[in-house]
């Protein structure tokens, strides 16, 4: 952060708030895009609409996208790590917005943040079921294992709280 | 980057079309960086916040480097018109009756698995698929953790002066022995538990909406 930002209180506020909002916007935007893309296209056209980042943007476009979003992620992470070391607080993302930006915006951010992550929980289980097709797992077993069993096991694990050990609820592996 | 015009039949300039596609791929890539800020949520529950000093600073750089190298490897191995690339949000829009995945092995839409298979490492492809399933489940675990803590933090501050306030405030109940906000956890897990089951009923929920939407778009 350039020194001029640190000296100017308003600019510091703006910088902090934008760095806090960026991941939320990204999270919200991508979940919205996911739902949007599902509802936009009819199933009969699916064969022509194969879409993975690679196919939409091409190889160079994909690499450029990774670089662009990677830089955003690095900026966000730098700010977040500074803030969380300086002001450790429960429910940090919401508290920072409430304290440094605006109390009402904090509520909005909190609800959006909860919505994004609660829905991602379901979407990730769906993605795991999709991956299990590699071994020819039938729909019945997919449903049992990944729609039913996996959420229940994860929920049970979470009831035991955070501890240092083999299974820890915190992981930074995002597929 | 070669332009190609089969994606949308909309009469806009070639450059505009390419830019549209590139900007469309940005949120897809952004989705893989989702959760980079989770460390702020977890920082309070760490034994000592100084333990997180080094990881919180380095994690984004490490992830960026890994993604970058993976992307280069995958784009070199998998053709960008490969049949294995998934159809539009197959995981959500797919149904049991209209499923028409890739006919040639590997039966996977994942870039990493397809790349390993294309490079000739068939056992590695299976192993990678297992790793991916584990990491996806681990990520869903993290999502549940984050959403429960967020809900706890939100509901804790709601005043319990009226009926609705009391109900919402009760979501912030914490089990004393484990320190887990149990009610918020349960609520977060149940609130979207039904979502994957939607795709079991073919042509009912999602696809009805999609055809309606398309008709509206055509008008």
Task: Locate the chain B residue with the closest alpha carbon to A127.
Answer: B91
State residue A43's pLDDT score.
38
User: Per-residue confidence at B100, pLDDT binned at 50, 70, 90?
Assistant: very low
List of chain A residues whose C-beta atoms are within 8 Å of the C-beta of residue B25: 53, 56-57, 61-62, 65
Cβ contact, residue pair B33, A110, below 8 Å: no
Q: For residue A174, list chain B residues with Cβ-Cβ distance below 8 A.
A: 32-35, 135, 139, 142
| pLDDT at residue A60, rounded to an integer | 78
Distance of alpha carbon A124 from alpha carbon B143, whole angstroms = 9
- Cβ-in-10-Å burial (0-12, 13-18, 19+) of B103 comes to exposed
Encode chain A (175 residues) as per-residue pLDDT tens digits. 344 444 455 555 555 555 555 555 555 545 444 444 443 433 333 333 344 566 666 777 788 888 989 999 999 899 888 888 888 888 888 889 999 998 899 999 999 999 999 998 988 888 888 888 888 877 788 888 888 899 999 999 888 876 654 444 444 333 2
CA distance A118 to A65: 26
The pLDDT of residue B63 is above 80: yes
> In this complex, do A51 and B86 lie within 8 Å of one another by their Cβ atoms?
yes
Q: What is the pLDDT confidence band of residue B112, given thresholds at 50, 70 and 90?
A: confident
CA distance linking residue A91 with residue A101, whole number of Å = 15
> Looking up tokens 């959500």, which residue turns up?
B92
Mutate which: B25, B84, B112, vs A, most A CBs within 10 A: B25
Q: What is the mean pLDDT of residues B23-29?
A: 76
CB B132 within 8 A of CB A175: yes
Q: Compute CA distances A73 → A81, A115, B86, whole Å.
A: 12, 21, 25
The span from the CA of A41 to the CA of A46, in Å, is: 7
Please name the member of B7, B68, B92 whose beta carbon is closest to the beta carbon of A70: B68
Rounded to 10 degrees, what is the CA torsion of B164, B169, B172, B177? -120
Buried b / exposed e over A69-104, threshold 16 CB at 10 Å, is: bbebbbebbbbbbebbbebbbebbbbbbbbebbeee
Tokens matching residue B104 = 């040639």
Contact A52 B85 (CB under 8 A): yes
Query: Tens digits of per-residue pLDDT, B186-209?
Result: 999 999 988 888 877 654 444 444
Rama region for B89: left / alpha / beta (φ>0; ψ in -120 to 50; rest): left
Q: Which pLDDT value is given to residue B133?
A: 92
Mapping DSSP onto H, E and C, the string for A84-145 reads HHHCCCCCHHHHHHHHHCCHHHHHHHHHHHHHHHHHHHHHHHHHHHHHHHHHCCCHHHHHHH
Closest listed residue to residue B102, CA positions, set B81, B86, B89, B91: B86
Q: Tokens 């000739």 belong to which residue? A: B120
Which of A16, A93, A118, A160 to probe the B interface (max B CBs under 10 A)? A118
Q: Which of B217, B9, B6 is nearest to A39 (CA)?
A: B217
Q: What is the ipTM of this complex?
A: 0.74
Write down the pLDDT at residue A170. Answer: 45
Q: Is the pLDDT of residue B87 over 70?
A: no
Q: What is the pLDDT of residue B159?
A: 85
* Confidence at B64, pLDDT banded by 50, 70, 90: very high
Q: Say what the pTM is.
A: 0.71
Q: Which residues contact A62 (CB under 8 A, 6 or more apart)?
A: A53, A54, B25, B29, B71, B75
| Residue A138 near chain B (CB below 8 Å) | no
Q: Which residue did the predictor score with more confidence, B12 or B176?
A: B176
The helix/strand/coil state of B43 is helix
User: How far apart are alpha carbons A32 and A26 in whole angstroms?
Assistant: 10
- Separation in Å, CA A26 to CA A66, A101, A136, B114: 14, 19, 34, 27
Q: Which of B172, B51, B139, B137 lies closest to A91 in space, CA to CA?
A: B172
Cβ atoms within 10 Å, residue B33: 25
pLDDT: which is higher, A159 or B7: A159
- How high is the mean pLDDT of chain B? 75
A77 in reach of chain B (CB within 8 A): yes
**Across the interface, do A85 and B49 touch by the CB < 8 Å criterion?**
yes
The predicted structure's pLDDT at residue A74 = 92
Alpha-carbon distance of B101 to A137, in angstroms, equals 13
Alpha helices of chain B — where are they, by DSSP H? 14-32, 38-42, 53-77, 90-93, 111-118, 122-156, 163-169, 182-191, 206-218
Q: Does A61 touch chain B (CB under 8 A)?
A: yes
């Amino acid at each position: 952060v350039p020194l001029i930002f640190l000296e100017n209180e308003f600019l510091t506020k703006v910088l902090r708030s934008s760095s806090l909002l960026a991941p939320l916007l990204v999270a919200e935007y991508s979940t919205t895009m996911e739902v949007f893309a599902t509802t936009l296209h009819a199933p009969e056209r699916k064969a022509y609409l194969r879409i993975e980042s690679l196919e939409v943007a091409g190889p160079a476009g994909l690499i450029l996208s990774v670089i662009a979003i990677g830089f955003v992620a690095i900026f966000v992470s730098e700010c977040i790590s500074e803030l969380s070391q300086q002001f450790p607080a429960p429910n940090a993302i919401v508290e920072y917005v409430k304290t440094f930006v605006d109390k009402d915006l904090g509520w909005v951010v909190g609800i959006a943040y909860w919505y994004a992550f609660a829905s991602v929980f379901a979407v990730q289980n769906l993605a795991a079921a999709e991956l299990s097709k590699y071994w020819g797992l039938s729909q019945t077993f997919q449903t049992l294992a990944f729609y039913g069993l996996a959420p229940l096991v994860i929920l049970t694990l979470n009831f035991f709280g955070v501890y240092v050990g083999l299974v820890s609820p915190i992981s930074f592996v995002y597929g | 980057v070669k332009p190609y015009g089969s994606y949308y039949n909309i009469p806009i300039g070639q450059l505009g079309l390419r830019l549209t596609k590139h900007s469309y791929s940005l949120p897809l890539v952004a989705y893989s960086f989702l959760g980079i800020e989770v460390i702020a949520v977890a920082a309070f529950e760490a034994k000592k916040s100084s333990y997180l000093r080094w990881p919180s600073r380095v994690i984004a750089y490490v992830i960026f480097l890994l993604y970058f190298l993976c992307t280069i490897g995958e784009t070199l191995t998998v053709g960008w018109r490969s049949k294995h690339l998934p159809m539009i949000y197959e995981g959500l829009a797919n149904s049991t009756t209209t499923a028409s995945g890739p006919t040639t092995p590997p039966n996977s839409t994942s870039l990493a698995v397809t790349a390993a298979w294309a490079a000739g490492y068939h056992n590695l492809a299976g192993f990678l698929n297992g790793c991916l399933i584990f990491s996806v489940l681990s990520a869903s675990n993290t999502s549940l953790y984050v959403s429960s803590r967020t809900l706890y933090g939100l509901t804790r501050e709601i005043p319990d002066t009226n009926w609705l306030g009391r109900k919402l405030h009760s979501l912030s109940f914490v089990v004393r022995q484990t320190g887990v906000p149990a009610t918020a956890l349960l609520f977060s897990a149940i609130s979207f538990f039904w979502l994957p089951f939607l795709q079991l009923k073919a042509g009912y929920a999602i696809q009805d909406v999609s055809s309606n939407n398309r008709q509206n778009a055509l008008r």
